Structure 1
Amino acid sequence: MKPITLLALLGILAGSSHSALAAPNPEKLYETWCQGCHGAGRLGGTGPVLLPESLSRLKRADAFKVIADGLPATQMPGFKSALSEGEIQALADWIYTEPAVKPKWEAADIEASRIVHKEALDLPAKPVFQADPMNITLVVEHGDNSITVLDGDKMEPITRFATRYALHGGPKFTQDGRFVFWSTRDGWVTKFDLWNLKVVAEVRAGINTRNVAVSSDARYVMVANYLPHTLVALDTRDLSLVKVIPVVGKNGKTSRVSAVYDARPRASFIAALRDIPEVWEIPYDGRPVYKGMVHDYKLKEAIAEPGPLPVRQIELTDYLDDFYFDQDYKLILGASRSSPKGQVVHLDAGRKIADLDLPGMPHLGSGITWQYQGRPVMASPNLKEGLISVIDMKTWQTVKQIKTEGPGFFLRSHENTPYAWADVFSGPNKDVMQVIDKRTLEIVATLKPEPGKTSTHVEFDRYGKYALVSLWEQDGALIVYDAATLKEIKRLPMKRPVGKYNVWNKTRLSEGTSH
């Protein structure tokens, strides 16, 4: 939603006598206060889609509270100082009404939107820069919708270029590091030649999109959509459409897709569904999938699903809002934002095998794993509480809950460092980064890059030598730390930098980052 300006506030106050006589007009209120973030027609922008099918897990009373008070750990502000209770209620009711014309985005729409830059299709397979192409880090700057390409050895920018509005979900690289794909909130997918620094192709794959994944064989880009309820497979060569997969559960209900990731050792995509308690596995290596199949593919009287990219539906006891994998990619560690427990799903067995004790609102999409006292452990930050849960991955018992100075969004590490870095994304201590010794599970340093300014999201170079921190402000910076001494080395001015993505760490499945 738009930030409140003094002029707009004076306009509301000046019109209050008229508002007392006339019923609030929610469409006009939406255009004034909400459209800047949630998009025309409520179809989404930097904020999510606001249509009934996208709000199935948000009660109307809660919607009133969100509009009035804002939403923690997001960019959603509160509006109770600018709008009356009647106006807030009118907005809360209106977003649950169906639009006059139901939005859709079908195969023909996808293909019609595709833009191919033919001059970029056959460029030389050689970087135009001198830096190590596997130690490149992309820095997404939301302040002016740009990406900085960073030399990971010198920690100096190679170039900077504009992107479409509101990138979301993190760029994904091909295994050689040459091509990178990203998506925007409003469904645009871009293919970029990182060696030649050129856009190759673009296509709009949905109305509201969560993220993309790239198959390890570099054949497919899979797009996860909130709206419409689809997964969309694209050809990596030119982003031409391969397949639209309607997301319909075994119960007949359709669903938004929370996220999709490449499970490289399995040669498949894994998708979590927001409105159906299922997780989907979509093999891309040509192996068959059987309706009602079990993990050994020998279910009696099973029928193979025809065509490329078949779907294996695994039923769960709860939803998965976000998740990550163990290092072997046999397990999913996931959680629902509305449930006090997480769940461990064994992909081969096709079922949940354990619960996770995760109070508050865990953010498992930013979880990491490491070896602690000879045993694998997982750790997750928490969006509601100042703690990090560390859990033994053999017994699934909590080893420790590390108290932090406030709720956190990101937790990051690297196999070559003994430390894990955690931000405090919201609350009075949002300006600190807390460094945890993975050997002792103790906080060994609390850094304050810029007093009063939000610091967040750590990424490492390919060697784990440098830790990169975002000063998440409009006139912010990328702050480079020595990962061993924890001393600041330099600052690079940037416009509200958010995520950083190192080619090596992302393509080699680094132990300390999300994949």
Structure 2
Amino acid sequence: MMKRWLVLFALTLSLPLQAAPAADIDSSAAAQLYGQHCQSCHGADRLGGMGPALLPESLERLKPAEISRTIRQGRSATQMAGFASQLSEEQISQLTAYVQSAPATPPRWSEADMRASHRQPVALSSLPAKPQYTANPLNLFVVVEAGDHHVTVLDGERFRPITRFASHYAVHGGPKFSPDGRFVYFSSRDGWVTQYDLYSLQVVADIRVGLNTRNIAVSDDGNWILAGNTLPQTLVLLDAHGLAPVKTIAVRDAAGHPSRVSAVYEAAPRHSFVVALKDVPELWEISYDRHAAPVYPGLVHDYQMGEALAQPGFLTPRVTPLSMVLDDFYFDPSYQHVLGASRSGQAQVISLDARSKVADLPLDGMPHLGSGISFERDGHRIMATPNLKGGQLSFVDMDSWQLIKQVQLPGPGFFLRSHENTPYAWADSMMSAHKDTLSIIDKRSLSVVRQLVLRPGKTTAHVEFTRDGRYALVSVMENPGELIVVDAQTLREVAALPMAKPIGKYNVFNKVNRSEGTSH
């Protein structure tokens, strides 16, 4: 059983997909090709096995040409072989269209399926009390490498890898940490949630909570994980100490209309999770407050689960009706307000206490609030956000909710990062022809003071700072790619590490202490 679990964990491989099937697909012939060449690894129902799920929801980010290339050439560092010698171009096109199309029978994932997938290869009681290495455990970086689906644990002082291990296919949403920084939790697009021990450097537990998962959040007491799914349309509560499933919540509005989950966030001061829905105009707040009960240091026993679930208000969604569907949002420092935006470019400020809109935000285009930062300037708290369409940064006064200034960048970007110990914010333009350019913005003058090109022509983005803010780590999102270490004061490169498309890196201290310059 242990060997089988390790194989399933390590061999999360291969072919992804997007929506919109190609025209003129011969579904019968394509299904036969799938059964002959793909079924043994990806499952007869396309829900995954040794390979990942081949469903439109799970593999939506890949273009048809990328899918065809994977079928033709295979995928390095996995057991996904290439089929160029076995399939014609017409057959490859048929398979590409087939895996992009919805299955004839809607896929299902029950609580029984979830429990059957649960693995806990390491007993929590057997874990060491201290880190098994000399590096500072609070200044580690967890680096997600999408190029070959691995994770590197990096010493944030010496900038040396401590270990590297295989992840599930398409880890996303940013890993989340336990409050003490000991455990890191990952979620993947095809529904896997993994608990990893940063002291002993090993996987502790693994469970598949759905077929397509948006992201996860960890409660501020360290006891609970909430996972948000788009397939099936559920929220799943897990015991954070071993990932045993505790409760599944169907995501529906008062009229019974189901909704996919857009995102799940943790609001620590409120002892609650906040959930954005993709298909209905509602915002949910789900309390996990157990009246300041002490944090249980091990597995949550059944009787404790029962006590928690029986308490009034525990895990009962508190619904805020909205005038629009939120796709992205950001909390103010008090966590009393949510700044939310839709894909249509509308943006609002919503009070979680009053459960109503309190202001419109003057942000057009497509603000990416999830990458926003906030900082103090002239006695005011300022929020800054990039824009996925307009290619500018917007600065908003969080007292008046008024737009202060917009700063034009070389092109649209995705990430904005800073640190409380630096006067600068770093923005990329990775979604434009200037994908290699980082703009350095002075938080005092709200102006660009320098544009930095570290690797001409290479996609350069996602800055994360060391614990003290002295160094900025920058991703070259190519395969092969690099992780570049830059002195945050002089802006000079001091080190570079080869990586396989490092799409994100996350500093333990900054995450658990909610640094004002990083995403939460």
In 1, are the aligned partners of 2:284 and 2:317 still within 8 Å (CA)? Answer: yes
Q: CA deviation at 1:373?
A: 2.2
Whole-angstrom CA distance in 1 between matches of 2:261 and 2:24: 37
Where does the alignment leave 5 or more consecutive residues of structure 2 unmatched?
A: 1-13, 70-88, 293-309
Change in Cα spacing, 1:369 to 1:222, as seen in structure 2 (3 Å) is same
Any idea what SS the aligned residue of 2:204 has?
A: strand
| Partner of residue 366, structure 1 | 371
Q: What one-letter code is carried by the residue in structure 1 that aligns with 2:385?
A: S
| Partner of residue 324, structure 1 | 330
Any idea what SS the aligned residue of 1:248 has?
A: coil
Any idea what SS the aligned residue of 1:183 has?
A: strand
Whole-angstrom CA distance in 1 between matches of 2:402 and 2:498: 43
Output aligned runs, 1:358-397, within 5 Å.
Answer: 358-397=363-402
Structure 2 length-normalised TM: 0.80
Moved more, 144-153 or 117-126: 117-126
- Could you report, residue by residue, the CA deviation over 1:387-445 in whole angstroms, capped at 9, with x for unpaired residues? 11111111211111110011110011111111110111122110111111111111111
Pair 1:131-2:132 in alignment: no
| Partner of residue 441, structure 2 | 436
CA RMSD of aligned residues (A): 3.2
Q: CA deviation at 1:306?
A: 5.1
Structure 1 length-normalised TM: 0.81
Q: What one-letter code is carried by the residue in structure 2 that aligns with 1:403?
A: Q
| Partner of residue 476, structure 2 | 471
Any idea what SS the aligned residue of 1:115 has?
A: coil
| Partner of residue 50, structure 1 | 56
Whole-angstrom CA distance in 2 between matches of 1:448 and 1:358: 28
| Partner of residue 501, structure 1 | 506
In 1, are the aligned partners of 2:15 and 2:54 still within 8 Å (CA)? Answer: no
Q: CA deviation at 1:341?
A: 1.9
Output aligned runs, 1:109-188, within 5 Å.
Answer: 109-119=113-123, 121-188=125-192
Pair 1:426-2:431 in alignment: yes
Q: What one-letter code is carried by the residue in structure 2 that aligns with 1:505?
A: N
Any idea what SS the aligned residue of 2:361 has?
A: strand
Whole-angstrom CA distance in 1 between matches of 2:64 and 2:399: 41
| Partner of residue 231, structure 1 | 235
Whole-angstrom CA distance in 2 between matches of 1:442 and 1:367: 17
Output aligned runs, 1:37-116, within 5 Å.
Answer: 50=56, 76=63, 95=101, 99-116=103-120
Whole-angstrom CA distance in 2 between matches of 1:140 and 1:386: 26
Change in Cα spacing, 1:202 to 1:136, as seen in structure 2 (3 Å) is same
Whole-angstrom CA distance in 1 between matches of 2:485 and 2:317: 43
Any idea what SS the aligned residue of 1:357 has?
A: coil
Match of 1:249 among 242, 253, 267: 253
In 1, are the aligned partners of 2:287 and 2:313 still within 8 Å (CA)? Answer: no
Q: What one-letter code is carried by the residue in structure 2 that aligns with 1:273?
A: L
Change in Cα spacing, 1:428 to 1:378, as seen in structure 2 (3 Å) is same
In 2, are the aligned partners of 1:120 and 1:199 still within 8 Å (CA)? Answer: no
Percent of aligned positions with the same letter in both sequences?
Answer: 52
Change in Cα spacing, 1:406 to 1:47, as seen in structure 2 (3 Å) is farther
Any idea what SS the aligned residue of 1:344 has?
A: strand
Whole-angstrom CA distance in 2 between matches of 1:206 and 1:502: 28
Whole-angstrom CA distance in 2 between matches of 1:147 and 1:139: 6
Whole-angstrom CA distance in 1 between matches of 2:53 and 2:365: 23
Q: What one-letter code is carried by the residue in structure 2 that aligns with 1:25?
A: D
Where does the alignment leave 5 or more consecutive residues of structure 1 unmatched?
A: 5-18, 56-70, 289-303
In 2, are the aligned partners of 1:120 and 1:198 still within 8 Å (CA)? Answer: no
Whole-angstrom CA distance in 2 between matches of 1:435 and 1:418: 10
Pair 1:281-2:298 in alignment: no
Whole-angstrom CA distance in 2 between matches of 1:335 and 1:136: 33
Change in Cα spacing, 1:3 to 1:258, as seen in structure 2 (3 Å) is closer
Q: How many residues align?
A: 454
Match of 1:513 among 509, 514, 518: 518
Whole-angstrom CA distance in 1 between matches of 2:198 and 2:278: 33
Change in Cα spacing, 1:146 to 1:465, as seen in structure 2 (3 Å) is same
Q: What one-letter code is carried by the residue in structure 2 that aligns with 1:168?
A: H
In 1, are the aligned partners of 2:172 and 2:187 still within 8 Å (CA)? Answer: yes
Pair 1:311-2:317 in alignment: yes
In 1, are the aligned partners of 2:124 and 2:242 still within 8 Å (CA)? Answer: no
Whole-angstrom CA distance in 2 between matches of 1:341 and 1:177: 36
- Could you report, residue by residue, the CA deviation over 1:52-108 in whole angstroms, capped at 9, with x for unpaired residues? xx99xxxxxxxxxxxxxxx9xx654679x9999xx99x969x94x6x3322111211
Change in Cα spacing, 1:404 to 1:48, as seen in structure 2 (3 Å) is farther
Whole-angstrom CA distance in 2 between matches of 1:104 and 1:265: 36
Whole-angstrom CA distance in 2 between matches of 1:427 and 1:43: 35
